[in-house]
A and B are shown apart, each in its own frame.
Chain A
Amino acid sequence: MKGPIALGMTITEKLLARAAGVPHARPGEILTVDVSWCMTNDATTHISIDMFNARLKERGIHAPERTVFVIDHNVPSESPTTTATQNKMRAFAREHGIPLHDGEGVCHQLILEEYAKPGDVVFGADSHTLTAGAVGAFAAGVGSTDFVAAMVTGQTWVMVPPTIRIDVEGTLPEGVFAKDVVLHMIGDLGADGATYKAIEWGGPGVQALNTEQRATLVNMGVEAGAKSSVVEPDEETLRYLREKRGADVDTGELLASDPDCVYERRLTYDLSTLEPVVAYPHNVDNIAPVTAYEGTAVTTGFVGSCNSGRIEDLRIAAGVLRGRKVLPEVKLIVAPASKSVYMQALKEGLMDVFLESGAMVVNSNCSVCFGNQGAIGEGDVLISTGTRNFPGRSGSQKGEIFLASPATVAATCVGGYITDPREFV
């Protein structure tokens, strides 16, 4: 057969077609899709609650048990104003029977650990919602109004995006990590290179990564402007879901792109050729080898965030810090992405390593990446595993932020200047 109908679909097109109840989905079409999970956090939920109470109370909530509230951005609260805003969220969740995670971790990590499954559609009032693509869900960030509409109707509209396929081959060299891979990708695509588009990660190099590493890859797709980012679910996905949720977990539907699907663009990475990189101030697509900035003095380090605060990341950082000390002039802050990551790190003795090295370990929250803890001052230089390096993102507009892998951050905090982690592993 000839013509567009005969063409296969990408996994993203299949996910949206399935959620819209139609046989095919093509880029550019606008579909109304059923939402599996809608998530919101304390940075914006008060706005959604005000809208609901003012205009939509009588409509009610479509499925409270499929709505997830997370207090993770400013927790524990730093002021009575913040507490009042969060209390509004707590009361609303209680009144409507909405699951509430209060200080249990960063929202995207909790969605990954407890909620999203292959085949799901996740809309969250946070730009890094696409993290759930790591288990084969369609996941996109929206604002407060879109969130409240999805919470009330159980549906939302979406324009089917064209897909950029990223084929990954080879294995990571010593000292190079998933964070380096995603930074390379953002540097190549640019800050708006994937705007309105879906990113699909695949190939043997991705199949060999675990779900935590895959989450690091998909999470920062929004830094290239992407609507969503996904990895085709596989045996590893099932292993992850069973480990987190038990043997009888609902593993959803494992979709895959058809061989004859249409990609708008393809990029290929051979992992074995990559080197450690940083995103230098003040844009995420400013990518350079770590060696180009080697010797730059730093004052603060951060290991954490929805991008790189998982157990895998803590193991990498602890691997560098074991038996070493953070330079006394440098403040290194570690924030495990969730309570379960925190407890696992305790079990593995990683917290001993951090504390003995001189790092500060804080509770599971967005922390330095959101700027609510460890705010940098004028003239400070932060090296962070976070998601963004915009001016003021983590405190003063007159500070500087470098983004790097947990190994690069840890190695840098030992010497007090940007350091190639390959010297330490």
Chain B
Amino acid sequence: MGKIWKFGDDVDTDQIIATQYLLLPGVDDMKGHTFEGLRPEFAGGFAPGDIIVAGKNFGCGSSREQAPRVIKALGAAAVIAPTFARIFYRNSINIGLPVVMSAEASAAAVEGEPIEVDLEQGTITTAGSSFAFPRYPDHVLDIVRAGGLIEHLLATG
């Protein structure tokens, strides 16, 4: 069970982590600047287990993998949106950050309210309702089950 942090449509990866932090040595050096321009209180207030619920086309723009990495480093249990930009979506799967597509849950979610995502059952529970989301394609599921692309690569040779 985590708290909902809501965002609008078309949030781009420049908003998630700005250009001037990309070449810092590691993700732990960057994570304090997550959503800095859009929501300056985010990095300080986001607790492990909290969930980002956004509008359509989340993570569009630059391919910077730092974007899903800082969100993961802050302890997000998942990111929920009606749709994701493809590079952000693929990067998230590759690093083991759950990304879930649900237009219904995105519409129902209320800022600050509790939410729970059950990846095995494929359900999101919030605001007294439960929403089903489609399972990943088999190939993607294999990567998720392995814990990310590098783990999958090492396991499959």
Contacts and interface: CB of A to CB of B under 8 A. Distances in A.
Interface of A: 30, 42-44, 46-47, 50-51, 55-56, 73-74, 81-82, 84-86, 125-127, 129, 141-146, 148-149, 152-153, 157, 159, 191-192, 195-196, 222, 225, 227, 283, 370-372, 388, 390-393, 397
Given A143-B90, A391-B37, A81 B24 contact: yes
B9 to A, nearest CB: 8
B43 interface: no
Contact of A225 (B57, B149, B154): B57
B83 A195 contact: yes
B148 A43 contact: no
Contacts of A391: 14-15, 37-38
Contact of B25 (A30, A85, A129): A85
A143 B60 contact: no
Given A142-B87, A143-B90, A390-B15, A47 B65 contact: yes
B116 interface: no
Given A55-B154, A392-B37, A397-B37, A149 B149 contact: yes
B86 A143 contact: no
Given A55-B150, A84-B25, A392 B60 contact: no
Nearest to A398: B37
Interface in B12-67: 12, 14-15, 18-20, 22-27, 37-38, 56-57, 60-66
Given A146-B149, A371-B19, A192 B57 contact: yes
A73 B21 CA distance: 13
Contacts of A44: 22, 63-66
Query: Which of B61, B62, B83, B86 gathers most chain A CB within 10 Å?
Result: B86
B115 to A, nearest CB: 24
A56 B150 contact: yes
B23 A43 contact: yes
15 contacts: A43-B64, A46-B25, A47-B65, A50-B26, A142-B87, A145-B95, A149-B153, A157-B139, A191-B10, A192-B56, A195-B83, A227-B86, A372-B19, A391-B14, A397-B37
Given A47-B69, A56-B150, A393-B14, A143 B63 contact: yes
B12 A390 contact: yes
Contacts of A388: 12, 14, 61-62
Nearest to B11: A390
B74 to A, nearest CB: 17
Interface in B112-157: 137, 139, 148-150, 153-154
Given A153-B153, A225-B60, 19 more contacts: A44-B63, A44-B65, A46-B23, A46-B25, A47-B69, A55-B150, A125-B65, A127-B63, A143-B65, A143-B87, A144-B65, A145-B95, A145-B148, A145-B150, A146-B94, A371-B19, A388-B14, A392-B19, A393-B19
Contacts of A283: 10
A32 B139 CA distance: 11
A81 B10 contact: no
Contacts of B12: 388, 390
B6 to A, nearest CB: 18
B91 interface: yes
B73 interface: no
Contact of B91 (A82, A86, A145, A393): A145
